[in-house]
Each structure stands twice: as C-alpha cells, then as structure tokens.
Amino acid sequence: MFDKLRGKSPSGHSKGDSTDSTKDTSSFAPPPPAYTAPSSSASQPALSHPVQTRFASLSLHKEDRLRFLRFPEPIISKCRATVLSTWPLGISKEQPYANSHEFKLNGYPWRGYGKEGVEARRLMNGVLATLHASGWLLTLNTDISKSAMDKDTLLFRFQNPIPVHHEWCVVAFSRQDRLRFIDAPASLYEAFPARVGANWISESGLKEQGVWEYKLRGYPWQASGEETMRVRELLIVLVELLEEEGWSVYASIDQKSSGGQGVSETDTWHCCRVKGWEKGMPVYMR
C-alpha cells in the first residue's frame, strides 16, 4: 500500500527507474479503428412481421342497445344467435353506427326490472360466453361516461389458441338486499348460508326457474358507516366460496341504467369455470 503511495511498482523500482530493461512498445501499437455511427436500421432490427394482437369493444347504450366495434363479422353473427336465444323479446333492428354494428333490442334490458332483469343478465352472460369460446377474452371493463344513463364498455383481446370450454353463471346484487344466483349449480348457492352465518340470511328460495334468491338482513347494497365494511367481508366470503367451487369472477359489469334518478346501480358478476372441473383441480381466472 505504501509503495503505491510513493509511486513505486510492485517490484520496488520507481515508475521512472531507468534500470528497467523492458522495452516500451506502446508507441508502436496500431491506432484504434475509426468509429462509425450505426445506422438506424442496424440499431433497430426490422420485425419479421407486424404485431398480430387484435382488440375490439362491446358497449351498452341507452336502455336497449348493444354495439360491437372492430369484431369480425363471423363473431357478430355468433353473438346475434346468442342474443336471439337468451333474450326472449328478440332484436328490433340492426344498423351500422359510427363504425360499430348496433343491435337494438325489443324491450328494455338495461332497465333491469323484474323478469327482464334476470333475462338481461342471462343475455350478457351468454354473449361473454360466446366471445370467450371464440377466443375473444375480456381485457377490462370501464366506465368512461358521466351520463345519467351510463353503463360499462368492455374491451376484448383475441387469443389464439382459443381457451378450453367453460361453463357460466351469474351472481346478481338486486334491490337493496337481494343476492341472486342465476343458472348456478346448487352446490354453490346451498353452501352460502353456512359460510356467511345465519345472521345474514332473512329468507331464501327459488325465485323462478334457475334463479335462487337470498333476502339478506338490513340493506347491504345501501349500507353506511361501519356496515359498509361488514358488507365487504361478505364479498370476501362470497369470492372464497366461488373459488372453492372452481369459479372465478370473469367480469363485474355495470349493465343497468339508473334511469336518470341519480341513484348508483350495483354491478353484476359474470362467473365461469373450466368445464368438467372437480374438487382439487386448479382454478383459472380465465
């Protein structure tokens, strides 16, 4: 260390010691090659092919419209067949609308009242299932409107290979105190009371074919104060129950108009699981 401070080489001689017999050849070293800036094509290699990712959107408008944007025509045809099989009142008319394809439905599915409310949820569940089975997977759903009649916009991404076949059901938060399982297996909704506790359940029963309803105590969907956190504990238990039965929430969608009354509406959970799922198998989010 002290040798270094005194400017000596590790051999003990000073750096300028003339007794060093080693000949300095640094002056004979060849000059470095001239620098040439890389061209833009060299620094950014060309892609062998353009990106193939495709996106499209499905949006709900007014109280009776569905608009498909950038979906290929064969997919729109499949969705048309789904709409006709799940919405009993059928389609009033179809038309191009600002680069989209619009279905105007008979009736008012996005009002969500009574039997139409159940059928509207089946309609959306069916369309989601059809798109999923065709390789169009939901990327996100978003609310980008301040309109009193606003509902969600759904953005989809095409995936290839297409996912394995799934089965579908709905969990709906209705009125101020109702929880409805629509087209769900009995094993799912029958396990609910034991998981949340008897204090939550006021009444239960088959509301109509394929719809099991729980009337909850209080008004959980219009809670205030500390009750708001008790309701969120209920949601955690519900999600845990879904996963234990192989289900995941594929989409939580605002598909109901407030009717211009300034009253916020609850989402609808559209759930799916792999066809043939059994206890012990993994649960996939898509």
- When pLDDT is cut at 50, 70 and 90, the band that residue 3 belongs to is very low
Q: What is the mean pLDDT of the chain?
A: 83
- pLDDT in the model for residue 184: 97
Does a structural domain hold residue 28? no
Backbone φ and ψ for 126, nearest 5 degrees, come out as: -65, -40
Handedness of CA 11, 17, 20, 24 (dihedral sign): positive
Number of folded domains that form the chain: 1
> Per the domain annotation, does 44 fall within a domain?
no
Span 16-74, pLDDT tens digits = 444 444 444 444 455 555 544 444 444 444 545 555 679 999 999 999 999 999 999 99
Question: How far, in Å, CA of 206 to CA of 24, rounded?
Answer: 99
Tokens for 26? 């640094």
Residue 98 lies in a domain: yes
Residue type at 24? D
**Assigned domain for 142 exists:** yes
Q: How far is CA 8 from CA 11, 12, 16, 83, in A?
A: 8, 6, 9, 89
Span 252-272, pLDDT tens digits: 998 987 655 555 678 999 999
| Rounded CA separation 162/169 (Å) | 20
Domain-located, residue 29:
no
Range from 22-36, 73-87, 183-197 carrying the lowest mean pLDDT: 22-36
User: What are the tens digits of pLDDT across the range 152-170?
Assistant: 899 999 999 999 999 999 9
Residue-range definition of the domain harbouring residue 242: 55-274
Q: Please give the Cα distance from 16 to 44 (Å, whole number).
A: 49
Residue 104 lies in a domain: yes
CA dist 259 and 263 (Å) reads 8
- pLDDT at 25 (0 to 100): 44
Domain annotation covers residue 46 = no
